[in-house]
């Protein structure tokens, strides 16, 4: 598992060892942006409910300014066996929050002897994001399956509000997708249609957003557990590309 | 004497002058086209579409029915976005120069010439202007063409171009839906869908959908208002 901290440590170590001797006073302004910028999952994430579960998807680019720190990031993070979250915003903040929620939900499962509901997970995310809204920069989609209400998607954007939505998108690349989602979403889609919808959405955003790229990661969560897919290279859906 | 714009626009110019006081209120922001403009080229012609809302800093809608597709010549129209004042100033100059060129050369000006005049103007004054244009039209030499001139003054010819604040929300839709070889009706439906989707997501776009369909026979202006605007999933 990749920690955001690991990369910033490496960056600091590198800068100390190999800083070019051009300027005696190397300050924050003379270092390139990829040594000083916080790691951001400037991103595209999407999630959709269907009867029987959810499909979630994300791109795989983590950037530090204009440097791509990780081109194969996994932004679909497990919080329980049946609940995943899609992370966008600061890599460090979202990893920390997801870890803490994972801890809380494990504790919940031990106490209650039963899987927590998606609503509980989303509420836990919301509590953390809202109470620390001044110091966090995290936009999260919580999606999963529970036996009470089936597949559910909750969005917890910046600021810490939460709401359930049948289809949700997030991250910097999501601006380009609102038109596509509004035009193409219809309630009652089946699992295969949902997979295609999310794959198309992520790949359209990757084409337009500089902070999104790499591979398309998908996951499908149903009562049978989680099925993960990766679309690389030619498998990524193509659209009319101008010459 | 402005002939293309309604009297409501003159009112908005007057309000703009009143707001020079610099106080931090609604009237402080310059009148700006939070806008959606889009142009598509098909075999026989070009379809241009735009919304009709002008706002002041997204808090006040100063005009609900502005006509953003300005006529540069019989078969050449131009959609503008960005600061209203800059757009209007630039359009007047382009219209004049184009008209002059038509007289000197004694033939209808070409779309490429109009776009070139526009881009040269925008580039020369790039430090002072904040306007981006989409020029679409038909001429007997090259047929239908669409040119995009974003802020800065670069000119590029594209089969489909979108601009304005509302355009970010529809890039995904445009990429997924556009294919070469669409018919006139399909293009009109595509453009109205695009503007409608953008209007429902962008607070700076709204009002009615204005369309201009240009081909070798005519430049037809259309309006889609109220129930005629395409509807999509509202969640």
User: Using one digit for the tens of pLDDT, what is the confidence trace for A180-213?
Assistant: 999 999 999 999 999 999 999 999 999 999 999 9
> CA nearest A241 in B: which residue?
B175
A110 touches chain B (CB under 8 A): no
CB contact under 8 A, A240 and B201: no
The ipTM assigned to this model is: 0.78
SS (H, E, C) A21-73: CCCCCCCCCCCCHHHHCCCEECCCEEEEEECCEEEEEECCCEEECCEEEECCC
Nearest to B187 by CA among B9, B40, B8, B31: B40
Residue-level pLDDT at A24: 52
Is the model's pLDDT at B22 over the cut of 50? no
Residue-level pLDDT at B90: 94
Higher pLDDT, A7 or B199: B199
CB contact under 8 A, A185 and B233: yes
Residue-level pLDDT at A108: 97
Residue-level pLDDT at B4: 44
Residue-level pLDDT at A44: 96
Question: What is the torsion angle, in degrees rounded to the nearest 10, for the CA atoms of residue B70, residue B72, residue B73 and residue B76?
Answer: -80
Mutation choice for B interface testing from A49, A175, A182 by most B CBs within 10 A = A182
Residue-level pLDDT at A47: 98
Residue-level pLDDT at B5: 42
CB contact under 8 A, B178 and A240: yes
Question: What is the torsion angle, in degrees rounded to the nearest 10, for the CA atoms of residue B184, residue B186, residue B189 and residue B195?
Answer: -90
User: Using one digit for the tens of pLDDT, what is the confidence trace for B7-21?
Assistant: 445 545 545 544 444
DSSP B75-131: TEEEEEEEEHHHHHHHHHHHHHHHHHHHHHHTSPPPHHHHHHHHHHHHHHTTTT--E
Kindly give the parts of chain A with pLDDT less than 70.
1-29, 41, 241-243
Mean pLDDT over each residue of chain B, to the nearest integer? 85
A242 touches chain B (CB under 8 A): yes
Residue-level pLDDT at A103: 97
Q: How far is CA B181 from the centre of its chain?
A: 23
CB contact under 8 A, A176 and B172: yes
Is the model's pLDDT at B126 over the cut of 90? yes
Residue-level pLDDT at A243: 38
Residue-level pLDDT at A66: 86
Residue-level pLDDT at A3: 47
Closest chain B C-alpha to A203 CA, distance in angstroms? 9
A182 touches chain B (CB under 8 A): yes
Active site residue B6: no
Is the model's pLDDT at B224 over the cut of 70? yes
Catalytic pick among B3, B6, B35, B80: B35
Closest chain A C-alpha to B206 CA, distance in angstroms? 15
Kindly list the residues from chain B whose CB atom is less than 8 angstroms away from the CB atom of residue A182: 173, 197, 200-201, 232-233
Cβ atoms < 10 Å from Cβ of A49 = 24
Higher pLDDT, B23 or B171: B171
> CA nearest A205 in B: which residue?
B172
What is the mean pLDDT of the segment spanning B37-48? 96
């Amino acid at each position: 598992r990749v920690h955001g901290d690991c990369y910033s440590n490496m960056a600091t170590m590198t800068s100390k060892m190999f800083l070019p001797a051009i300027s005696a006073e190397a300050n924050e302004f003379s270092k390139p942006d990829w040594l000083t910028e916080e790691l951001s999952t400037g991103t595209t994430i999407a999630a959709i409910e269907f009867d029987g579960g959810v499909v979630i998807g994300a791109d795989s680019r983590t950037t530090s300014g204009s440097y791509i720190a990780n081109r194969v990031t996994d932004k679909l993070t497990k919080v329980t066996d049946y609940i995943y979250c899609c992370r966008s915003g600061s890599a460090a903040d979202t990893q920390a929050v997801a870890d803490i929620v994972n801890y809380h939900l494990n504790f919940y499962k031990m106490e209650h002897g039963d899987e927590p509901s998606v609503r509980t997970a989303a509420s836990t995310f919301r509590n953390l994001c809202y109470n620390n809204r001044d110091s966090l920069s995290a936009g999260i989609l919580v999606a999963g399956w529970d036996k009470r209400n089936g597949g559910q998607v909750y969005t917890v954007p910046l600021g810490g509000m939460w709401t359930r939505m049948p289809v949700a998108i997030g991250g910097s690349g999501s601006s380009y997708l609102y038109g596509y989602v509004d035009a193409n979403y219809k309630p009652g889609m089946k699992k295969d249609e949902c997979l295609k919808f999310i794959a198309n959405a992520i790949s359209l955003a990757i084409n337009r957003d500089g902070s999104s790229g790499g591979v398309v990661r998908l996951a499908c969560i149903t009562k049978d557990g989680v099925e993960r897919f990766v679309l690389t290279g030619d498998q990524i859906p193509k659209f009319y590309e101008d010459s | 004497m402005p002939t293309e714009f309604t009297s409501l626009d003159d009112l908005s110019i007057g309000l703009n002058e009143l707001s020079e006081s610099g106080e931090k209120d609604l009237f402080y922001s310059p009148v700006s086209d939070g806008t959606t403009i889009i142009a598509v080229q098909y075999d026989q012609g070009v379809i241009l579409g735009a919304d009709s809302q002008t706002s002041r800093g997204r808090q006040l809608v100063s005009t609900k029915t502005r006509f953003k597709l300005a006529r540069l010549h019989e078969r050449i129209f131009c959609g503008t976005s960005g600061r209203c004042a800059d757009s209007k100033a630039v359009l007047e100059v382009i219209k004049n120069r184009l008209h002059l060129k038509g007289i000197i050369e004694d033939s209808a000006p070409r779309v490429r010439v109009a776009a070139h005049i526009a881009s040269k103007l925008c580039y020369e004054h790039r430090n002072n202007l904040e306007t981006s244009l989409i020029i679409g039209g038909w001429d007997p030499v090259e047929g239908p063409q669409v040119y995009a001139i974003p802020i800065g003054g670069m000119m590029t010819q594209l089969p489909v171009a979108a601009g304005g604040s509302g355009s970010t929300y529809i890039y995904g839709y445009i990429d997924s839906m556009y294919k070469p070889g669409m018919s006139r009706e399909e293009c009109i439906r595509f453009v109205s869908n695009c503007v409608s989707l953008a209007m429902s997501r962008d607070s700076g776009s709204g009002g009615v959908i204005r369309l201009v369909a240009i081909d070798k026979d005519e430049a037809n202006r259309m309006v889609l208002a109220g129930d005629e605007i395409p509807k999509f999933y509202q969640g």
